[in-house]
Amino acid sequence: MGDADAGSWVYSDGGQQRFNATILTQFGYVVYPNDTISNYSDCVLAFGGYAPTIINNGSWYNSTGCDTPVRPIRTRGILGIVSAIAFAVLLVLSLVCLNKHGKSYLPAEKRFRLVGRRWSWYWCIITTTVGLISGFTAVDVDRVWVLGTAAIFHFIFYLVTLPACLAAIWEMTRNWASFEERKGVDEDFFRYRQDDQRSKIEFYEPLIFYLFNFLTFFLSVLRNWNPIAKSNIEVITDARFRAASIFSLLAWGTIVVTIILARHYYQPRKFPWKIPVCLLLIAIRIGFNIGSSFDYSINQLRYQASPAYFYCLGYLPVIMVLLVIIHYGGKEPNEDKELLQLRNSRNALLDQQMSGAQPAAVSRRKADAKPKPNRRRVVDRTYDYWG
């Protein structure tokens, strides 16, 4: 706090600016060492060219809020713009893939709904949207004098990218297993029952995953963010953030178990490598979450931490996961078209077998037939004169 002049003045900015101590005390204002004046409801800057004036009713004029960008853009903001542009491009590509894979070319089936194959792209769109917002709000995090609204929005949307990206991977995995079942049912309608152990497991799998994923979101996002924006060590490494990181690991493990069970029940001929690649990439982000919730020096919500940790271990794995999903989305055909192609292949093979079996049967019957004796017709040329 600044020095007082005859008990009536309070100074800031190294004595360059002075304020009436009586009025400040009357309305609960305090001059802080970082050259700001605040009463926990209002906060104004009090240094350099930001010289506010307080009047007798406790209001300010010519004041600048503490969360107003007054500094030049820094490394965090530049990396935020780059990541926001990357998320914007991925958002457009996700919409293109949704348009491709969301179309239907076959009659609707109650057992395999069209929305099932769209959910992975819905989550990709959500992930890119929140990443886009978080990247752009990062611009003002380093520019403000006191962390406030910009930092809160930046960190909130950053944390949402993890459960949203996990949900995109889960829906991609679930849709792969569902399509393997659909191909088997299309070939033999009675191959998979609807009341066996397999169907019961598939009923509870999404409930378990979304429970863990929702707890990750609930514990890390839905909370008071004012102390978090100030990088309070007791808050950003508390039990809620630690539990949220553990629940994200359990959601990741649920996806792994789903893959194992799907390969056991459906025994696919080919396994899409996009699933393990995405799981390995998102495991980097989950590991960073767990480590930062226990280690304050690398904590992702610590303002003083190096942006290299934040962007290389936080944003980059999510961007790489979306790139893998979108790459395979552009490479793979629409499910209905692939199913029609499998039907045509089966019909062509059946026609070939039937057309090749008929001449063989005829030749086989001719070979198995007994040779007939060479009987010559004998004509009785004797004329019966008496008859």
Together in a domain, 30 and 87: no
Together in a domain, 34 and 171: no
pLDDT of residue 366: 53
Radius of gyration of the chain (CA): 36
Q: Is residue 4 part of a domain?
A: no
- How far is it, in rounded angstroms, from Cα 290 to Cα 346? 50
Q: Is residue 343 part of a domain?
A: no
Q: Is residue 367 part of a domain?
A: no
Together in a domain, 53 and 170: no
pLDDT of residue 387: 38
pLDDT of residue 62: 77
The answer to whether the Cα torsion of 355, 359, 360, 362 is positive or negative is: positive
pLDDT of residue 1: 41
Together in a domain, 51 and 79: no
* Full domain range(s) for residue 13: 9-61
Q: Is residue 66 part of a domain?
A: no
Together in a domain, 55 and 25: yes
- How far is it, in rounded angstroms, from Cα 333 to Cα 330? 8
Q: Is residue 85 part of a domain?
A: yes
Q: Is residue 129 part of a domain?
A: yes
Report the number of distinct structural domains present in the chain: 2
Residue type at 364 in one-letter notation = R
- How far is it, in rounded angstroms, from Cα 306 to Cα 300? 9
Specify whether the CB–CB gap between 329 and 121 falls below 8 A.
Answer: yes
pTM, to two decimals = 0.82
> Residue 264's domain is classified under what CATH number?
1.20.1070
pLDDT of residue 373: 55
Together in a domain, 165 and 275: yes
What's the Cα-to-Cα distance from 271 to each of 8, 173, 186, 262, 279, rounded to whole Å?
78, 11, 19, 11, 14
In sequence order, what DSSP letters do the residues of 184-220 get, joined into one string? HHHH-TTSS-SSSHHHHHHHHHHHHHHHHHHHHHHHH
pLDDT per residue as tens, the chain (387 positions):
444 444 588 777 777 777 878 888 888 888 888 888 888 777 888 887 777 888 777 778 778 887 788 888 888 889 999 999 999 999 999 999 999 998 888 877 777 888 888 999 999 999 999 999 999 999 888 888 777 788 889 999 999 999 999 999 999 999 998 888 888 776 766 677 777 888 889 899 999 999 999 999 999 999 988 888 777 888 888 999 999 999 999 999 999 999 999 998 888 888 889 999 999 999 999 999 999 999 888 888 888 888 888 899 999 999 999 999 999 999 998 888 888 888 888 788 887 878 775 554 445 555 555 555 555 544 444 444 343
Domain boundary among 307, 333, 359: 333
> What b/e string do you get for 187-196 counting C-beta neighbours within 10 Å, with b at 16 or more?
eeeeebeeee
Domain boundary among 284, 300, 333: 333
- Helix residue ranges per DSSP H, the chain: 21-26, 75-101, 114-137, 149-187, 197-221, 226-229, 233-236, 239-266, 274-294, 307-310, 316-331, 335-368
Together in a domain, 109 and 142: yes
Together in a domain, 87 and 208: yes
Together in a domain, 196 and 288: yes
Together in a domain, 55 and 192: no
* Spacing of C-alpha 337 from chain mean position: 26
Specify whether the CB–CB gap between 39 and 66 falls below 8 A.
Answer: no
Q: Is residue 249 part of a domain?
A: yes
- How far is it, in rounded angstroms, from Cα 235 to Cα 231? 8
Together in a domain, 114 and 240: yes
Residue type at 192 in one-letter notation = Y
- How far is it, in rounded angstroms, from Cα 317 to Cα 144? 28
pLDDT of residue 5: 42
Together in a domain, 230 and 127: yes
Q: Is residue 385 part of a domain?
A: no
Residues with Cβ < 8 Å from 23, sequence gap 6 or more? 29, 54, 55, 56, 58
- How far is it, in rounded angstroms, from Cα 87 to Cα 91? 6
Specify whether the CB–CB gap between 13 and 49 falls below 8 A.
Answer: no
Residue with tokens 């009357």: 26
The one-character DSSP state at 237 is T
Domain boundary among 333, 349, 367: 333
